[in-house]
Amino acid sequence: MSRSTQYIGLTQKAKDYIKAHAIKKEKIIICQGMFDEPIYGDRYHFPPPQGPNIGLYYTEVPQETPWSSGPMIFTYLKGTLVKDSGEELSYGYIFEWIHNPELKEVNAEYDIDSGEFWV
């Protein structure tokens, strides 16, 4: 078995949310793989909430990187709110993967639909 970086990415619920609400997407490097190769993810722009805000974006960032013949990169979304003043504030993390040892019993490393992994 060859070793390689395995980009898993976002849960299905995260992808569905992005598809329904994002207004712009840009590709960015989110980390490096096991051979120092760039791993690309996305930054998604959303309409900002009402108030003195000019922007809201969620950046795909690594949540977990367990090893299975190479690192498996599970990502979630980190929110950033941009105020009228230009100040950027943390808007939290959403659509986290859940570590579920019961998937081992069904011989699965991850389930993108449930957002669960066992590696």
Specify the amino acid at residue 88.
Answer: E
Is the per-residue pLDDT at 107 higher than 90?
A: no
**H helix intervals, the chain:** 12-21
Question: pTM value?
Answer: 0.92
Confidence (pLDDT) at 25:
98
SS3 103: helix
Q: Predicted confidence band at 21 (pLDDT cuts at 50, 70, 90)?
A: very high
Contact 40/27 with Cβ under 8 angstroms?
yes
Cα distances from 39 to residues 14, 52, 108, in angstroms, run: 19, 34, 24
Q: Predicted confidence band at 1 (pLDDT cuts at 50, 70, 90)?
A: low
Confidence (pLDDT) at 106:
83
Locate the domains of the chain by residue range.
6-117
Confidence (pLDDT) at 68:
87
Query: What angle (nearest 5°) sits at the alpha carbon of residue 72, between those of residues 98 and 17?
Result: 50
Cα distances from 83 to residues 71, 96, 104, in angstroms, run: 36, 25, 45
Strand partners, 46: 56
Query: What angle (nearest 5°) sits at the alpha carbon of residue 54, between those of residues 49 and 56?
Result: 60
| CA pair distance 115, 57, nearest whole angstrom | 22
Q: Predicted confidence band at 108 (pLDDT cuts at 50, 70, 90)?
A: confident
Confidence (pLDDT) at 72:
96
pLDDT digits (tens, 9 = 90+) for 8-20: 999 999 999 999 9
Is the per-residue pLDDT at 104 higher than 90?
A: no
Mean pLDDT taken over the chain: 95
Confidence (pLDDT) at 29:
98
